[in-house]
Amino acid sequence: MKVGFIGLGNMGSGMAANLLKAGHTLTVYNRTPARAEALVAQGATLAKTPSEATSPQRRTSSSSAAIS
């Protein structure tokens, strides 16, 4: 499943890491790009903007994740 994730704070980074471990294709965005480095090293793609992380093909949910 393709997932877009916005917000990699204390809770978000762990949630995003679990999505990667589960085998999902992950695109992440965080206001401070350095917070995404560990996830990118694990295979996530870094989006430059929130809208890039949640492309029109994805549905946005209130948990800051977009799942398609």
pLDDT single digits (tens) 26-47: 999 999 999 999 999 999 999 9
d(CA 14, CA 56): 25
Decide: pTM greater than 0.85.
no
Looking at residue 56, its pLDDT comes to: 59
Looking at residue 65, its pLDDT comes to: 53
Show me where the domains of the chain are located: 2-67
d(CA 16, CA 19): 5
In CATH, which superfamily holds the domain spanning 2-67?
Answer: NAD(P)-binding Rossmann-like Domain (3.40.50.720)
> What is the torsion angle, in degrees rounded to the nearest 10, for the CA atoms of residue 21, residue 53, residue 48 and residue 62?
-100
